[in-house]
Structure 1
């Protein structure tokens, strides 16, 4: 459910490499008794990946902390409404918080908010009943579409497929596919969000606080 960092699959690298040396964060070879299997690696400057061997996924601390699966039968409009009650954070932060909802993350929260025509800075607790219902419907539709697009693809093709299906995330400066306005970005210390002013904020660009501090 957790939104992954870049991963690749294929045959194991012929030379043994140690995590922490160079871009390689982790390499795991999964194989059955017949020798068939696949190789999974993560590369990047932020080495936050961990591997657990357990009998029950809930034995993994990160999994145990996950919120409900938005595509499960238990995730009803009432359950979603209860999650937002008293939530004083901006809706963007709530959606990407894995302890609130599992599996959305940064990219799909941008996509969901764009489809819902909602500002990422809107306070979750201030959403109207209509906005909660609209956001709930868009969450299910967006994630289900992503699952269907990825069905049957090899692990090495998932990242490219995901990127090709995104409308606003990672597309700063490009035209919005809905209205044609320029997609804008707000940067944070460790991430960035993208949005369409016309579709989501009444045509008003959101303040990029990080950029403002750099210009002072």
Structure 2
């Protein structure tokens, strides 16, 4: 799933590509993707693009004097830029392929929004204000914003009754952190994913804060430096523990372990994070003795 660093890099690239351009049209190829009907998609047509930004893991393309096109790429969605599109006499037709939405600009360039599979989980919203998108309205602090301080993290963690893994991925707490980078942050901070956010002492909170900023900041630098078609591979290559169960921890040499649950999983290093203890299945909510 694209997380904060990848979405920020995509927003910056889209902003550069859209500079001085207007929306020619938007073709929706998977109707389950479009979550709004008023304003209609046609309200974007002919509008100059005023910018492309990010809210957590949401992309926000704004138009001058018109609505916003807000996109959430879900688990497997992606943005594919095109300098031009093949000429055709008729609009594209909805089908079962990966193409869900196409944004065409007035110079013939544009972007395809794609997702593999017949069921599209990604979402598109045409709204007058991004805060009208429920997921955007609920977002918590942006962990790379100047306003995100150690004191703010402490204030968020204090009343939280979540385990750290859940706290980091709760979008109402920290906006933009997902499964992969939460594993990386906890590994960098040497904290157990099962530790309670509200039980962290001052030294642990300081480690967590530093890890959030360092891990996401380094990932953003890598994403900015990667070619568009290598962005996903660059993310994977930069991960120390996530998706690396059975491999060697790059810090201590122990074996990276995994806990599988529901539709997801977490990875961690016992030596670095849990004092050598192996975590039990998350559903049991306890440590193996």
TM range (shorter): 0.7 to 0.9
The runs of 5 or more residues in structure 2 that have no matched partner are 1-55, 58-72, 285-289
Q: How many positions carry a matched residue from both structures?
A: 207
> Which residue is equivalent to 2:194?
121
Whether 1:203 and 2:273 are equivalent positions in the alignment is no
Larger Rg: 2
CA distance in 1, matches of 2:108, 2:226: 21
Give 1 or 2: higher strand fraction.
Answer: 2
The runs of 5 or more residues in structure 1 that have no matched partner are 212-216
CA distance in 1, matches of 2:248, 2:112: 38
Cα deviation code 1:71-118 (max 9, x no counterpart) = 111111111100011211101100011111011111000000000010
CA distance in 2, matches of 1:74, 1:8: 29
Please provide the CA RMSD for this pair.
2.3
Query: Among residues 58, 72, 75, which one is paired with 1:5 in the alignment?
Result: 75
Structure 1 residues 47 and 40, CA gap change in structure 2 (3 angstroms): closer
Whether 1:112 and 2:185 are equivalent positions in the alignment is yes
Q: CA deviation at 1:4?
A: 4.7
Whether 1:70 and 2:174 are equivalent positions in the alignment is no
Q: CA deviation at 1:210?
A: 6.0
Structure 1 residues 53 and 153, CA gap change in structure 2 (3 angstroms): farther
Scaled by the length of structure 2, what TM-score is found?
A: 0.66
Scaled by the length of structure 1, what TM-score is found?
A: 0.87
Whether 1:91 and 2:164 are equivalent positions in the alignment is yes
CA distance in 2, matches of 1:111, 1:127: 18
